[in-house]
């Protein structure tokens, strides 16, 4: 599809720009808050680094998901995108930690080569940027979102 990405149905309704001939209401999800996943299930492993990755994912969930529930109306049915965001963030932090410890160039039996973690970091960073745009977490993407009704700053969520 060419052109700008279509607005979500609820956003068009809230903004008063909904047109039945141009927009579809799409699927409606039950308004249940997302349940935090079992990080050991999604990020298995017993090593110290595995524990750090799970901690990073859990911290990202605690920081981002409550805000998305209020700001964008994120529901439990849609939690997989938020879960993917948290896993991607945790893996990106892991890659950056390795790059900081090992450097951008590593020595091998064939000589110095680019650290493989640079490629991993690049791929996770690209995926992270797409998820940030999808979830409206960058300043530019946030301007395209309209909070659900009742999602004002006076509801005490951000206090």
Of the candidates 21, 94, 17, the one whose C-alpha atom is nearest the C-alpha of residue 54 is 94
This prediction has a pTM of 0.74
Confidence category of residue 157, pLDDT binned at 50, 70, 90: very low
**DSSP 8-state secondary structure symbol assigned to residue 147:** P
The predicted-structure confidence for 68-103, as pLDDT tens digits, reads as follows: 888 777 888 888 999 999 999 999 999 999 999 999
pLDDT at 33: 82
103: left (phi over 0), alpha (psi -120 to 50) or beta: left
Q: What is the pLDDT of residues 19-48, one digit of tens each?
A: 776 666 555 666 678 889 999 999 999 999
Q: What is the pLDDT of residue 73?
A: 77
């Amino acid at each position: 599809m060419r052109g700008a990405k279509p607005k979500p149905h609820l956003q068009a309704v809230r903004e008063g720009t909904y047109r039945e001939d141009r927009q579809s209401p799409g699927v409606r999800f039950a308004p249940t808050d997302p349940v935090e996943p079992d990080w050991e299930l999604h990020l298995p492993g017993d090593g110290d680094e595995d524990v750090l990755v799970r901690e990073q994912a859990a911290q990202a969930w605690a920081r981002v998901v409550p805000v998305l529930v209020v700001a964008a109306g994120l529901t439990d049915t849609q939690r997989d995108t938020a879960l993917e965001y948290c896993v991607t963030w945790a893996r990106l932090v892991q890659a950056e930690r390795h790059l900081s410890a090992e450097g951008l160039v590593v020595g091998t039996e064939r000589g110095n080569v680019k650290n493989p973690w640079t490629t991993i970091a690049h791929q996770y960073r690209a995926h992270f940027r797409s998820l940030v745009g999808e979830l409206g977490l960058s300043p530019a993407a946030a301007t395209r979102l309209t909070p659900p009704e009742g999602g004002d700053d006076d509801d005490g969520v951000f206090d």
